[in-house]
Structure 1
Amino acid sequence: MQFDTTQGALDVTLTDLIVAGWTGRDRAAVDHHIEELAALGVAPPSQVPLYYRCGPELLVQSDRIDVLGPDTSGEAEPLLIRADGKTWLGLGSDQTDRALEAHSVAHSKQVCPKPVAAALWDFDEVADHLDRIELASEIFENGAWVVYQSGTLASIRPLADLAQGGGLADGGAMLCGTLGAKGGVRPAERFRMRLTDPVLGREIATEYAIRVLPVMA
């Protein structure tokens, strides 16, 4: 997979993908969300945070993904990539099957492609102001773009701690958790997201369409 960086093009052969869940910095809010999902039939995590292992082939750089059935939705998340002993920060969407989530969160993560932006930032360049970096997404709903997520990385556990806890190593990528969805988690025909660094004045952004394939019996 190839990315654009301020140091030139970076080619990475990814061998592992970790999807970190339950990564909110406010533990009381995380516990409340766990209780809400339990009421919907979603089993609570065995630990917090929890590191789901997925196939790295799920990460795609594409303006369209295909999903099975109408129950998937995206989530904008900071993306960490470790390559040649160096850590990079990017942006990805943890597209997840919400219907399958009630059966198994791990399975729900593995069945959907996960679009990522084509740009990365040197983690060392942002490490001292990570909490000021803004994460946002919008969905195309009822003919218009609607704000879906908005906040800063201060709401997510420190990314370096997540990388260490999840065992992020060379050739690995990690989606680091996300912010709550305004109006609740729901599917959409298009999803766009951005990561904004107000200190260095730059942005990573990408957008993709979701094509729903029929569930054939």
Structure 2
Amino acid sequence: MSRTLKARIASLDGTTKDADLPLKRMYNLGSATRDPNTAVAHQQEVAKSGIHIAFDVPAPRIYPISLDAISSEDELFVQNDMTSGEVEIVLYMGDQLYVGVGSDHTDRALETVSIPGSKQACANHLVPEFWPYEEIRDSWDDCILRSRVDGRLYQEVGVNAFIRPEDIIAILRERVPGLPEKDFLVFCGTIVSVDKALGFGTEWSYELDTPATGRKLSASYRVVDILSEVDPGYRVPFFNPKRENAA
């Protein structure tokens, strides 16, 4: 299975071009920090909500994601009010390595039961523009990730907290047998929020800021709880009721 991702490629010289990027596989990573201790705060953050990391699996943990779960639309459909975004570096491996930014929007209620399932339940949100990594490799560690929810700062972190893009690709090639040579997308993990607690809200925005070049990639989206559209008296519970009460 494959699909085409419509995007722009922007270079430091100011030129841009539209591109139809073939997409064969997509992955989300967890605990993809250079120093493993840096990831502990986020692990503690999610544990407060009953979400427990599979520590017996070596970090960074890899979550294969269906190609259907990608969006750049203004609205993102969810099925409860316990969801939240995570600003992340996004890599596209094509004819060369490209960098971008996205939001790994996650169903936190489902995450208490299944982390892989929660990653699939909501779409990955993506800014449909990428930069050639080679052009900013030398200044990469100066870049900053930020996100906001309902107008308040939610996350702010330098990309130097995370494994470098070329090393992410090397890790995937080692741990994912049959990984395509190219045409795959990787969301590269997140870090603790500024107030060290999961945030919930409706209006999300995020960005990748590059102080060395003065460029930014940014996007915003609104979450829509489609389950709430059904009258409460006719709404099927998000979690299955006890078997004896099931219709």
What TM-score do the two structures reach when normalised by structure 1? 0.91
Partner Cα distance (1:195, 1:138) in 2? 12
Which entry has the higher C-alpha Rg, 1 or 2?
2
CA distance in 1 between counterparts of 2:203 and 2:42 reads 25
Post-superposition offset of 1:72: 0.9
Q: CA deviation at 1:29?
A: 3.2
CA distance in 2, matches of 1:199, 1:26: 24
1:209 equivalent in structure 2: 222
- Secondary structure, aligned partner of 1:18: strand
What residue number does 1:102 align with? 112
Q: What corresponds to 2:86 in structure 1?
A: 75
C-alpha distance 71-28 of structure 1, shift in aligned 2 (>3 A)? same
Aligned partner of 1:122 in structure 2 is 132
Question: Does residue 190 in structure 1 map to residue 200 in structure 2?
Answer: no
1:211 maps to a residue whose letter is: V
Conservation of the 8 A alpha-carbon contact between 1:42 and 1:104: no
Q: Which residue of 2 aligns with 1:11?
A: 20
Q: Within 2, Cα distance between the matches of 1:52 and 1:147?
A: 27
Q: C-alpha distance in 2, partners of 1:192/1:159?
A: 23
Residue in 1 that maps onto 2:232: none
Name the CA distance, whole Å, in 2 between partners of 1:187 and 1:89: 27
Q: Does 1:47 align with 2:58?
A: yes
Query: Structure 1 residue 152 and structure 2 residue 161: aligned?
Result: no
Give the paired residue count.
212
Residue 172 (structure 1) aligns with = 184
Query: Structure 1 residues 150 and 82, CA, compared in 2 at 3 Å: closer, same or farther?
Result: same
Give the Cα–Cα distance (whole angstroms) in 2 for the partners of residues 193 and 35 of structure 1.
23
1:27 aligns with 2:36: yes
Counterpart amino acid of residue 140 in structure 2: L
Asked if the contact 1:133/1:195 (under 8 Å) is kept, the reply is yes
Q: Which runs of 5+ in 1 are unaligned?
A: none
Query: What SS does the aligned partner of 2:122 have?
Result: coil
Percent of paired sites with the same residue:
24
- C-alpha separation in 1, matches of 2:203 and 2:45: 26
Tell me how far 1:31 sits from its aligned partner: 4.0
What do the CA deviations read for 1:29-78 (whole angstroms, capped 9, x no partner)?
32454456556352424111111101122111111110011111001101
3-state SS of paired residue (1:13):
strand
The whole-number CA distance in structure 2 between the counterparts of 1:156 and 1:87 is: 17
In structure 2, C-alpha distance between the alignment counterparts of 1:197 and 1:104, rounded to whole Å: 35
Separation of aligned partners in 1, 2:44 and 2:201: 25
- For 1:8, the aligned partner's letter is K
Distance 2:220 2:44 in 1: 32
| 2:45–2:198 contact (8 Å) kept in structure 1 | no
- 2:230 matched to which residue of 1? none
Runs of 4 or more consecutive aligned structure 1 residues displaced over 6 Å after TM superposition:
none
